[in-house]
Structure formats: C-alpha cells, structure tokens
Amino acid sequence: MYFPSKKDTWLALVIWGVVILMGWQMVSYKSLLWSMLSLLIIAYLLWLWFGTGYKIEGRVIKIRSGPLRRTVKITEITKISATKNPLSAHALSIDRIEIMYGKYDTAIISPKNKAHFINVLVTENPDIQVDKNLFK
C-alpha cells in the first residue's frame, strides 16, 4: 500500500520556483557546464518532489525520498508521535510524524493520510504506542 508525502504550499513554491529559475537560466546561458549543473539540480528537485512516499509492503515500511531510501520493520516500531521538527527528513511537509523503532532509531515522515497510515501500522503491530496529540 503506497502513501504519498503530504506537500506544503510554501515548499512547492520554493521547489518549483528554483526549477523554473534554473530552467530559464539553462536556456539563457550558453555555458555547457552551467547547463549540465542546472539540469542536475532540476532533476534532483523533481525526483524529490515526485519520488517522496512511503510503501507498506509485507511487514516493512519502505521510505523513499528521491535517491534516499530507508526500510523500517513494523514489528520493531515502538512509538509514533507528532512532530514539527524542521530538520532534514523524508518529508515534503512540516506536518510530520516521528516513528521510533529499534533501540534508538527514528524516522520522520509526512504521509498525506496520517490516520490511514497509522491504522495500517497499528493493525500490523498492536503494541505501537500512538501519541494522543497526533490528530490535533
């Protein structure tokens, strides 16, 4: 089951603004080096925008954010809580959830449909503690 990342408007403006600006500069300048660098930046940003999501497959969550990958075993998840942590994460929104698993590991993600995502996880592992503030 696939869950796309929630996408904030402000981040959409930043990413698409940079893509448009870099695309315009790539066409305007005649430097091959600048064009190649611009193309790489555009490709990376588009990969992040269209390639960030979470797939629950079997007993694992496969987290993808562009070229970055992570796998979390659902049976190892101990707690799910709300977070607005602005640090780097596999998320395109500041409305995030933090998944604690293993001994000290965490994954910060932002599924578009948090309630359904959490229900699927809790169905698979009823021992997961879900923070009460998560749905406020």
Tens digit of each residue's pLDDT (9 = 90 or more) over 69-127: 999 999 999 999 998 887 778 899 999 999 999 889 999 999 999 999 999 999 999 99
**What pLDDT digit, counting tens, does each position of 50-74 carry?**
999 999 998 999 999 999 999 999 9
**Residue that has been written with the tokens 């959490």 in this structure:** 118
Domain boundaries in the chain? Answer: 1-136
pLDDT tens digits, one per residue of 1-59: 999 999 999 999 999 999 999 888 877 777 888 888 889 999 999 999 999 999 999 89
Q: Is residue 136 predicted with pLDDT exceeding 70?
A: no
Residue 27 CA to residue 104 CA, distance in Å, equals 48
In sequence order, what E strands does 1-136 have?
2-4, 52-57, 60-65, 68-73, 77-83, 96-101, 105-109, 129-130
Alpha helical stretches, state H, 51-106: none
Which helix H or strand E contains 131, and what residues bound it?
Answer: none
Is 1-136 assigned to CATH 2.30.29.30?
yes
Q: What is the structure's pLDDT at 3?
A: 96
Answering whether pTM is above 0.75, one says: yes
